[in-house]
Amino acid sequence: MSLSSTAIEPLSFREALGHYASGITVITSLIDGNPIGFTCQSFYSVSISPPLVSFSVMSSSASYPGIRSAGRFAVNILSGEQVGVSNQFARKGTDKWQGVDWQVSPLGNPVIAGSLHWLDCEIHAEHPAGDHLIVVGEVKALNVHNAVATQPLLYFKGQYCNLAAPGVA
């Protein structure tokens, strides 16, 4: 049996990729004293030596040009309790930071309170890819909270979900 090649319909492509579970992050930076950021689920590790990570962002993003001009960003890895933060930073044209507590990282990026972990990065490279940009960052600082009971915020098949408890089949 052979699989036939067909044109890829955008909705089918999106549905197929929705079957890949991913974590949720908020990419942040500080521009002229003002915090900026956006929700991002296309984040992944690239290299251990040097320590590199990457995320993809729409070429038309309103937030990314500021991050590019700053040359640095923080990756806030959201916890399972931060659905509201994820939704807030996914919106356009609103004050994404209203009611969000944050601190400044060693590189001067906003770190969102309650995040599972954060990575402080300098932009290492940027590559155009279709309607997105692939941004590679070199990690300069990080903080791993020792919160064993805390779950990550996950996205699967168009909705937020949680990991099963350990030992549950």
Count of the separate structural domains present in the chain: 1
For residue range 141-164, list pLDDT tens digits in order: 999 766 555 789 999 888 998 876
- For the whole model, what pTM was predicted? 0.88
CATH of the domain at 87: 2.30.110.10
CA distances from 100 to 110, 113, 141 (A): 11, 8, 22
Q: What is the DSSP string of 43-97?
A: EEEEETTTTEEEEEEETT-SSHHHHHHHTEEEEEE-BTT-HHHHHHHH-SSS-TT
For residue range 4-28, list pLDDT tens digits in order: 567 888 888 778 877 778 899 999 9
Residue 13 belongs to a domain? no
For residue range 23-75, list pLDDT tens digits in order: 999 999 999 999 999 999 999 999 999 999 999 999 999 999 999 999 999 99
Enclosing domain of residue 100: 25-146
